């Protein structure tokens, strides 16, 4: 899969970042800290966090995006240590 476009990598508070990534068919958010990815969130078209419809949808997001987001964080592309 092609890496997503980084729309936002913003510090929310000390050591905690909100990341917004644009994939081909979804806008996906992630919260990360110096320990890695804390959680993935579903976003609406305005980039606001919204609830998952059900547990299956949540699991689908994790399967589809978690490994890509973790790799980007590990490679310092997003999160606390971005571009250091």
pLDDT 10s digits, 20-51 = 999 988 899 999 887 888 899 999 989 999 99
Domain positions in the chain: 5-74
- Residue 59, by phi and psi: left (phi above 0), alpha (psi -120 to 50) or beta? alpha
Q: What is the per-residue pLDDT for 8?
A: 93
Q: How confident is the model at residue 55 (pLDDT cuts 50, 70, 90)?
A: very high
Q: Please list the residues that pair with 80 across neighbouring strands.
A: none
Question: What average pLDDT does the chain have?
Answer: 89
CA dihedral 54, 60, 66, 68 (to 10 degrees): -150
């Amino acid at each position: 899969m092609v890496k997503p476009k980084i729309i936002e990598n913003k510090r929310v508070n000390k050591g905690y970042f909100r990341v917004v990534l644009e994939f081909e068919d979804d806008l996906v958010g992630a919260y990360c800290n110096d320990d890695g990815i804390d959680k993935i969130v579903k976003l609406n078209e305005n980039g606001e966090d919204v609830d998952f419809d059900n547990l299956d949808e949540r699991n689908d997001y994790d399967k589809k995006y978690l490994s890509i987001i973790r790799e980007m964080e590990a490679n310092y592309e997003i999160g606390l240590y971005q571009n250091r």
